[in-house]
Structure 1
């Protein structure tokens, strides 16, 4: 057994719209960790998260809770209070990346391009076409391409608060995974429907993937550099994924930064790792190695003897 990790709890499930994807990711990682000799157990969260985590008696948490509460800083804060090191980004970065509007402001301030925002009036976006998406969701949950006001009205949205609209960008859609600060080769995604939405992401055969992406070598290197800059600007850690569209001039637009990418059979992080010669099992161990506490100083208070004034 790989005893240096202690008992590892694979956190999965949760209460968000991405629960099923979380369970699929969780069981895949659990099997890989156990196959590698890690003392890993499933912690399928439902109602009382703190009691369930405490009852699992774990030393580390491999966080695969996608979406609300699991990816937005909430469970990260809980684990900080409990003193359990966890994978993925800390409280602040998780909260920022889950809020697409705030993360865009930080990315723009860091000199990274993002899609143009389109204001939403009472009767819908002020121009079309647009991509409409929730401000705080992941896995393309709630993503819509709207071409007319009638399509907006058909959605039945009575309050635009919590929604954002962006001008569609044209180019090659790629995903750049950044493992412990170093970018892996970009994966090009080519959805057969034309839109990389929830169904295209998680339906086998619905999307074609190319790794490395079908772009010039210098463009690939530049996109990897920009992905590392995006992750650094938002203070992400672990193995985040930066979704981009590369326009004709070669400049990537950052669509979003996903702090806890999926680990299913169709997920992009494992594809990028495989292209680098990293097996799924090795990838899981590498991510587990990054488990930490954001507020380490709070977890290790100084002893009274070290505070003697001379």
Structure 2
């Protein structure tokens, strides 16, 4: 087989995607696999057609990468790929929908309001501020419903800051999510399934110097301290892992995901899911893999084999 790692794309997260793709491709080559790196452009489908036994590893972040569109195309072309199908990706990528699904499954998650830009524009910010404050309280987190890498995310301390935070979120999409700000310990839980059912890898505790895990904190070396496994009681770590696996199942995910969790007074809450976890030098999933005694290359080699077996009806 030939593994095609697709990275780049045209989303706001192109640079992060390229870095993730390069790392995964290099790690797979180190396991002895044949790897081609590709971008999303007019050459991609011809490449898939002329490659013998292609298997795709989608490492696109945001937009095309996580909204299910590329995965739907791969399904039409009957090209096996690592990760969830298009429908599950689409549900997970939209934070307003994902949170509703998770809460319906009985999983704890913060209260949330989805506000389309059209409603915000027509009704005006002043008419909304009091109602939002009464329902959710302050501080709040405002973020785009469909975006990743914490782009467009703002912490709002008081009503006067809400309108500008919404405008920042709308720069990345037509729907903003307004959410309770939970104070606690943020952890990222990578969920891995190589054939024996999904299991949680050791949770990674996130300690941003700025106090908010935004884009700069995520991708600037030294801006955030990561502790693996998280410095929490064993029963809390287990509960966070159980919640992540439950969310992974509720969203219909497969192979690998990252579930972001906030632990508030020993109780974990779902924040959001990620169908294509970052694999850069400052990403969280590789830290979890290392703590689990494995690495990026071996994990993705197994996931590629699983995707191939699934396409052949063997798994």
Counterpart pick for 1:141 among 138, 145, 151: 151
Partners of 2:82 and 2:250 in 1: how far apart?
A: 19
Q: Deviations over 1:97-131 (max 9, x none)?
A: 01111111110111101111247563055324211
Partners of 2:251 and 2:309 in 1: how far apart?
A: 17
Partners of 1:189 and 1:156 in 2: how far apart?
A: 25
Q: Name the structure where helix makes up a greater proportion of residues.
A: 2
- Report the equivalent of 1:59: 54
Structure showing greater Rg: 1
- Report the equivalent of 1:176: 189
- Report the equivalent of 1:303: none
Change in Cα spacing, 1:146 to 1:54, as seen in structure 2 (3 Å) is farther
Return the offset for 1:47.
Answer: 5.1
TM score, norm. by length of structure 2 = 0.86
How many residue pairs were aligned?
Answer: 291
- Runs of 5+ consecutive residues of structure 1 not aligned to the other structure: 1-5, 298-310
Partners of 2:312 and 2:143 in 1: how far apart?
A: 35
TM score, norm. by length of structure 1 = 0.87
Assess if the C-alpha contact under 8 Å between 1:9 and 1:58 holds in 2: no
SS of the equivalent of 1:291 reads helix
Q: Deviations over 1:174-195 (max 9, x none)?
A: 0110011111011100100000
Change in Cα spacing, 1:55 to 1:149, as seen in structure 2 (3 Å) is farther
Partners of 2:174 and 2:47 in 1: how far apart?
A: 34
Q: Deviations over 1:45-76 (max 9, x none)?
A: 23565345445566100110111111111000
Return the offset for 1:153.
Answer: 4.0
Moved more, 90-99 or 273-282: 273-282
Partners of 1:252 and 1:289 in 2: how far apart?
A: 33
- Report the equivalent of 1:242: 259
Query: What RMSD in Å do the two structures reach over aligned CA positions?
Result: 2.3
Return the offset for 1:96.
Answer: 0.4
